[in-house]
Amino acid sequence: MNAQKLIYDRFIAPLQKPRTNYIGIEIEMPVVHLGGEKTDKSVTIAAVKKATSHFGFTPRKFDDDGNCHEAVCGDTGDIFSFDCSYHNFEISLGRVRTLHEAQARFRDYVRFINEELRQYHHTLTGMGINPNYRVNDRSDVPSPRYRMLEGFLKKCNSWNGSFHPFPDFGTFSSASQVQLDVTRENLCETIEAFSLVEPLKAVLFANSSFPEKPELLCARDYFWEQSPHGINPRNVGFFEPLPKSVGEITDYLSKASIFCAERDGKYLFFYPIPFDDYLKRDSVAAEYYDGTFHTCTFAPQAEDIAYLRTYKQTDLTARGTLEYRSACTQPLGEAMTVAAFHLGLMNRTQALSALLKASFLYQTNATPAQLRKQMNRADFLSFVDADALKALLNRVLQLCADGLRERGYSEEIYLSPLFERANTLTSPARYRLGQTDVEKVIREFAEL
């Protein structure tokens, strides 16, 4: 079993198919009790069940108690799902051509669900951390895949490593992700450009301030990198060093780690193993959940590459797309800003890289990872030239606006909130820290 050949076939070969230039958007949202109490999952399940029926979705996945936790629309490909927990709701939009189409469907769904939720003093809101995470039931959706993931992440309590004490972070953190087509020819330059811009994205999109880590504006990076997912740095964070060829990418990914597989209908998890090493093993010791957790051994197979998954800031998928994963959920009225930012820059990657490399950011030989950590800090304004940063942000956003205007759909309107954030250096997280009335922020960030 040749690891690099398997990597190539799964991740590189799809890049050679004709490009469709569709946009894929996934937005997770916390379900919050407006009185600061625990989210009532029966309220959440009932509201989404009504939305599933109203919009003609078909239930397709059920938990161990018979509750639907995923439904799909046959006409659009849109998906309703609960991500990890019943107080983290996700809308995955089927492929769309324009942001206006995405915005219209997203608003219809959220408006309907929130009308149902607010009858019981609950709401979907645009925050990267559920503000009531301390009182919420932080158990996972009781289903085979989430049982496996829960078991894997909780191994931080027994495996050696510099892990944070929040293995249940997936149940209370929410993200906004976008997938865009990429070609084999522009793969490396696209990864480079979007890696270089990550420090600025921390300034614009941070929305997961976390009381246990008050120095951070975006706890999302910390959650992933300091969990068992980050045992192998190749599975999280940045491509380091930045790849210069497709061969370097296949080599890099062949040494990323696999941590789960499936046998006889059971999800198995185990200590992360670099994929090329995994394929050479005769057997692997694993665990699975069947009412309780059990141990077993199994033999690796080439087909297990389907379970090789990385969680990088810019992630190469098996669909011939790059998935941009580092942005927190945004205030719901500004939900399309994340997709607009990446879409506008997709055809400006060379100009974006040139602009950033010549900027003050990269004059000290700091890496994108180092700079993102710096710009993610609540106190970054104490050691960054604010005027220079504002000017750079505006130049990047203008480049983005030019890219959107070239598409011809007037999608640049979705960048307006980002220009305001750039001129004030105020992300949603920084705004949130300046407020004392949490319910006021929850309601503001829930407005469409």
Per-residue pLDDT of the chain (448 residues; tens, 9 = 90+): 799 999 999 999 999 988 888 999 999 999 999 999 999 999 999 999 999 999 999 999 999 999 999 999 999 999 999 999 999 999 999 989 999 999 999 999 999 999 999 999 999 999 999 999 999 999 999 999 999 999 999 999 999 889 999 999 999 999 999 999 999 999 999 999 999 999 999 999 999 999 999 999 999 999 999 999 999 999 999 999 999 999 999 999 999 999 999 999 999 999 999 999 999 999 999 999 988 899 999 999 999 999 999 999 999 999 999 999 999 999 999 999 999 999 999 999 999 999 999 999 999 889 999 999 999 999 999 989 999 999 999 999 999 999 999 999 999 999 999 999 999 999 999 999 999 999 999 999 999 9
| pLDDT tens for each residue of 305-314 | 999 999 999 9
* Chain-centroid distance, C-alpha 260: 20
HSE at residue 182, side-chain half, CA atoms within 13 A, is 34
CA angle, 323 then 328 then 329, to 5°: 100
Other Cβ atoms within 10 Å of 249 Cβ, number: 20
What does the alpha-carbon distance between residue 345 and residue 398 come to, in Å, rounded to a whole number?
10
Domains and CATH numbers, the chain: 8-248+311-438 (3.30.590.20)
What does the alpha-carbon distance between residue 342 and residue 161 come to, in Å, rounded to a whole number?
34
CA angle, 113 then 118 then 123, to 5°: 65
HSE at residue 408, side-chain half, CA atoms within 13 A, is 0
Q: Taking the model in full, what pTM does it have?
A: 0.97
HSE at residue 390, side-chain half, CA atoms within 13 A, is 10
The one-letter amino acid at 411: E
Question: How does DSSP assign 357-415, residue by residue?
Answer: HTSGGGTT---HHHHHHHHTBTTGGGSS-HHHHHHHHHHHHHHHHHHHHHHTS-GGGGG
Plot region of 84 (φ>0 → left; ψ -120 to 50 → alpha; else → beta): left
What does the alpha-carbon distance between residue 448 and residue 443 come to, in Å, rounded to a whole number?
10
What does the alpha-carbon distance between residue 444 and residue 433 come to, in Å, rounded to a whole number?
14
Plot region of 119 (φ>0 → left; ψ -120 to 50 → alpha; else → beta): alpha
Question: How does DSSP assign 284-306, residue by residue?
Answer: EEEEEESSSEEEEEE---GGGGG
What does the alpha-carbon distance between residue 46 and residue 58 come to, in Å, rounded to a whole number?
15
What does the alpha-carbon distance between residue 61 and residue 70 come to, in Å, rounded to a whole number?
5
